Amino acid sequence: MSDKKSFYLTTPIFYPNASLHMGHAYVMTIADIMARWHRLKGDDTYFLAGSDENTAKVLKVAEENGQSVEEFLDKVSAGFESLYKELEISHDQFIRTSDKTVHWPGALKMWESLVKADAIYKGTYEGLYCVSCETFYTEKELVDGKCPVHGTVPERIKENNYFFRLSKYAPEIKRAIESGEMEVLPESRKNEILAFIGRGLEDVSFSRPKSAVPHGIPVPGDEEQVIYVWCDALVSYISALGYGREDDANFNKFWPADYHVVGKDILRFHTAIWPGMLLAAGLPLPKKVLVHGLIILGGQKMSKTIGNVINPKELIDEYGAEALRYFLARKVSIFEDSDMTKESFKDAYNGDLANGLGNLTSRIMTLAETNLSAPVELPEKSIPQDYIDAIEKFEINRVANIVWGKIAELDKEIQEKKPWESKDKDLIASLAVKLYTIGRMLNPIMPETSAKIKALVKENKKPGTPLFLRKD
Ligand SMILES: [Zn+2]
């Protein structure tokens, strides 16, 4: 056995019907920071992203756009990939649930495992269905008879469906969460899901009539039904690794996941239905489910209807991907909802990047290039322990705060010791070494800036142009 630790991290597979917004950029960035950290540590790391394509809504939106489902999906997933590339997301795989070669065998194998475990049965479902959520709601869950998310009146649907016996697995799911076998982070979300399970879990509809989702995955042995979203979408976390395919080496190596990173709107699916399915299929549970906060604007959840959406692409075009990654890492709380405006973004950019990190780099490297005859000697290891503790716990804000704390300390030291007067070579060399360490610590958050700073120190050169140009 190798002593290399494996590390597997997933982001939700996104619905391809919404335009890309800051929420997508956020979850991809925090996950990317973790993936980059684990690669840096030498862990054998696998980072999965994807899109959830076998849905009734996709069909509807494709029709509205006058496109075939395939054309529509190809275009949207290309859009995801292009944003990820611009944002320097280092995912190893982008899984698409419409992929019949990669994904479908896993979904079919899961279905068959559930059937074998007697966890699937046929019944009639009558329920209130929100097309936008692709979710059935109970009367209790509605707000004034309307979808709690969309504020629209759900349709009453009666269908012959296959059901998953989720109720049967409730005690085991509860035990797994309570014991920490499957950790739910933060604590408040753990309590929320335990309370939800405590009220009793109902069996879940796991199929839809083929007429509703003609492009869905057919139920084995029943041509009239397709596998419904949970038994399709959630399985992508393991089908991506080869579950259900002949080559399942990655599945054996990386499952169970170290982290599923999810939003609170999909908490229930990941911490009740998904572990239920895995238990029924005799598979290990994910180690941790991390539930991140939302980005809000002016006190409201970002939404197209409210019109307060900030397009991440616009910010990248104007300020660069590194600036956006910085803001998301430092200024957006990982577990709480956070406010964001174009003004707060610009202030952070000018204050912390142009005047802060950029200016510091220029000052130190100008001194170094002028006063040192050769590049400084670099330490083997220099990442502080508090940084390591914070990033290991996924406390991304704290990680960024530690780095900017070091930047402030270094600024202060320069102000106090005035090396431009003394031209003290030892002092200037020690400043360059400290700057290099900051460059190292920046690696997961701002990979390009990190590389630039490290290269400047190694070559003993001042930057040709400022790292971040001030914006007026
Ligand atoms: Zn809805």
Please write the tens of the pLDDT for every residue from 264-309: 989 999 999 999 999 999 999 999 999 999 888 766 665 555 555 6
Residue 296 confidence (pLDDT): 83
Measured in angstroms, how far is the CA atom of residue 154 from the centroid of ligand 1?
8
Residue 140 confidence (pLDDT): 81
DSSP 8-state assignment for residue 277: H
- % of the chain beyond a pLDDT of 90: 78
Could you tell me the pTM of the whole model?
Answer: 0.92
Average pLDDT, the chain: 93
Q: Any idea where the domains of the chain sit in the sequence?
A: 341-459
The residue behind tokens 């859009």 is: 79
pLDDT of 2 higher than 70: no
Q: How far apart are CA 459 and CA 455, in angstroms?
A: 6
pLDDT of 15 higher than 90: no
Measured in angstroms, how far is the CA atom of residue 152 from the centroid of ligand 1?
7
Is the CB of residue 19 less than 8 Å from the CB of residue 66? no
The mean per-residue pLDDT over the stretch 75-92 comes to: 93
Q: What is the CATH number of domain 341-459?
A: 1.10.730.10
Measured in angstroms, how far is the CA atom of residue 20 from the centroid of ligand 1?
19
pLDDT of 128 higher than 60: yes
Is the CB of residue 55 less than 8 Å from the CB of residue 134? yes
pLDDT band at 131 (very low <50, low <70, confident <90, very high): confident
The residue behind tokens 């997301």 is: 89
Measured in angstroms, how far is the CA atom of residue 264 from the centroid of ligand 1?
15
**How far from each other are the two terminal CA atoms of the chain, in whole angstroms?**
56
Preceding omega of 312 cis (within 30 degrees of 0): no
Residue 1 confidence (pLDDT): 44
Identity of residue 201? L
* Minimum mean pLDDT range among 12-16, 328-332, 453-457: 12-16
Query: For 173-186, what is each residue's pLDDT tens digit?
Result: 999 999 999 999 99
Catalytically active residues, by annotation: 21, 24, 130, 133, 147, 150, 301, 304
